[in-house]
Each structure stands twice: as structure tokens, then as C-alpha cells.
Amino acid sequence: MGTIHYGGSGTTVHIEDRALAHLKVVISTKLRRGESFTLSWRHRDDEERGRSTLWLHPAIPLRFVFDETEPTTLSREWIERLADSANSSGGIMLVPEDITPTERSGPAERSEKS
């Protein structure tokens, strides 16, 4: 389980290493361009029910910490899906890697983009 450390307040977000590696690529690209955006995710089963959103800005400190010592092999398709959501008005929505096209266009995602 990896961790995003965000801002001076010590905000931490725990995300599986593989998902975090993919998010890191997309987030780093957006921030390198000087773009601000949101990152949203559903809480894990062992956390309080619900979802959270962070406002990411290039001026706010950000650190990615991985539990695994070796980098994971990245999926171009997953990065593209995350990047597409990053460029929407709803910001990045962390979706599972194996999401099907039908699930991608489900009611929950449509409401996030509205």
C-alpha cells in the first residue's frame, strides 16, 4: 500500500502501489504543465464509507511513497483513462485498472463529470 503525502497539513492518502504508480505519471504530467485539478477516489473497505477529493496545485508539496522497492510495469490504457479524466471538469477519478467500457459510462461516472 503506497501513500500520497500532500501539503503541509500532513494529509495522507493510502493507495495500492500499482494504482499509485499510474496516478503518479498523470499527476506529475499535469503539475509539470502548471495545471491545477482534483483527484477523487472511493474509500477503501477498511475506511469510513464514502469518497474524498483533493485539490492538487503545483505550489503545494506532494510526495509519493511506495511500499514495493521495484517499479511496476505500467498500463498505457489505464494511464490514458486516468489522463482523460484528469482533463475533464470532474478531475481525476481513480478507477480500477480492469474497468470495462460499460462500467466506465455508468451513472456514477456520468454524475462526476457533470
Q: What are phi and psi of 23, to 5 degrees?
A: -60, -40
Question: pLDDT over 70 for what percent of the chain?
Answer: 86
Residue 39: enclosing H or E segment and its boundaries? strand 37-42
Q: Which helix or strand (DSSP H or E) is residue 29 part of?
A: helix 17-32
- What is d(CA 49, CA 51) in angstroms, rounded to the nearest whole number? 7
pTM, rounded to two decimals? 0.78
pLDDT digits 0-9 by tens, 24-54 = 999 999 999 999 999 988 887 777 888 889 8
